Amino acid sequence: MSAVAAPIGVLGGTFNPIHHGHLRSALELVEILGLEQLRLIPCARPPHREAPDCSAEQRAAMVELAVAGEPRLCCDRRELEREGLSYTVDTLASLRSEWGAQRPLCLVLGYDAVATLDSWHRWRELLDYAHIVIIARPGWELPHVGSVAEWLSEHRVSGPEALGKAPAGAVLSLALRPLAIASTDIRTLLAAGRSPRFLLPEPVLDYIEIHQLYRGTGNGA
């Protein structure tokens, strides 16, 4: 099957809150992979962790503030608009029906997401809907053995060109600029009364302050 247009990138996350680690990776992916756009998709009801204290609406609002002014990045609210747990395979099926059978879709996963991939709902079907682009993350390693490692290596390609030649089914690993930033660190700083400034965009920090988010004794996870 030959591809007809530039790939669309998909970066799902809890984004609790979004930070420069997400945003810098997203922009580098647009440029390295020649994406038409990269869609940041806030997870409404995480299938895999406790519901965040911060609502999906608030997390999506912060993503929207973060990407304002960068037309190659956008916030995609589809997981807020459907019922039930936010399974990625359902999100990809929805994107596939919207973008058509030929358009390359690239699902971006950091190393920590890959580490738990075999617990994801219908995880082997992800490659039926999209390519997988794995991005390195400071402090994490890719699994070297096991079903996920084998599955990834069976589908691995060596360069970005392969992703434009088919709509789905390839796995590419990339090392982007490493930024050791995690939402957990930002929540922890805020809960301790310290500033996370410069780890995330100013409008997102303003939103956090206006709405008094992450001030509790826990870390808001």
Ligand X SMILES: Nc1ncnc2c1ncn2[C@@H]1O[C@H](COP(=O)(O)OP(=O)(O)OP(=O)(O)O)[C@@H](O)[C@H]1O
Residue 168 near residue 104 (C-beta atoms within 8 A): yes
The binder of 87, among ligand X, ligand NCN, none, by C-beta within 5 to 8 A per type, is: ligand NCN
CB 78 within 8 A of CB 91: yes
Q: Which listed range, 87-95, 129-137, 144-152, 170-178, lies at the site for ligand NCN (CB under 6 A)?
A: 87-95
Q: Does 190 bind ligand X (CB under 6 A)?
A: no
Choice between 86 and 183, CB closer to ligand X: 183
Residue 35 binding ligand NCN, by CB under 6 A: no
Per CB under 6 A, 120 contacts ligand NCN: yes
Instruction: Look up residue 46 and give its two tokens.
Output: 């995480």
**Which of ligand NCN, ligand X, none sits in contact with 97, Cβ below 5 to 8 A by type?**
none
**Judged by CB under 6 A, which of 85, 162, 182, 189 binds ligand X?**
182
Q: Does 21 bind ligand NCN (CB under 6 A)?
A: no
Would you state the structure tokens that stand for residue 73, as one six-digit string? 């990045």
Contact partner at residue 42 from ligand X, ligand NCN, none, CB < 5 to 8 Å by partner kind: none
Specify the pairing of strand 105-110 against strand 8-13: parallel
84 counts as binding ligand NCN under rule CB under 6 A: no
CA distance 18 to 22: 7
> Which DSSP state fits 83?
-
**CA 63, 24, 170 angle in degrees (round to 5)?**
95
For ligand X, the closer CB: 2 or 208: 208
Measure Cα distances from 145 to 46, 120, 148, 166, 179 in Å: 26, 18, 8, 27, 26
Alpha-carbon gap, residue 36 to 73, rounded angstroms: 9
Among 8, 9, 10, 15, binds ligand X (CB under 6 A): 15
Selected range binding ligand NCN among 32-40, 69-77, 83-91, 171-179, rule: CB under 6 A = 83-91
Name the binder of 104 from ligand NCN, ligand X, none, CB < 5-8 A by kind.
Answer: none
> Would you count residue 131 as binding ligand X (CB under 6 A)?
no
Strand order in the sheet with 8-13: 73-75, 37-42, 8-13, 105-110, 131-135, 171-174
Q: Under 8 Å CB-to-CB from 195, ≥6 apart: which residues?
A: 189
Contact residues toward ligand NCN (CB under 6 A) are 12-14, 43, 46-49, 86-89, 113, 120-121
Contact residues toward ligand X (CB under 6 A) are 13-16, 21-22, 25, 109-110, 112-113, 135, 137, 179, 181-184
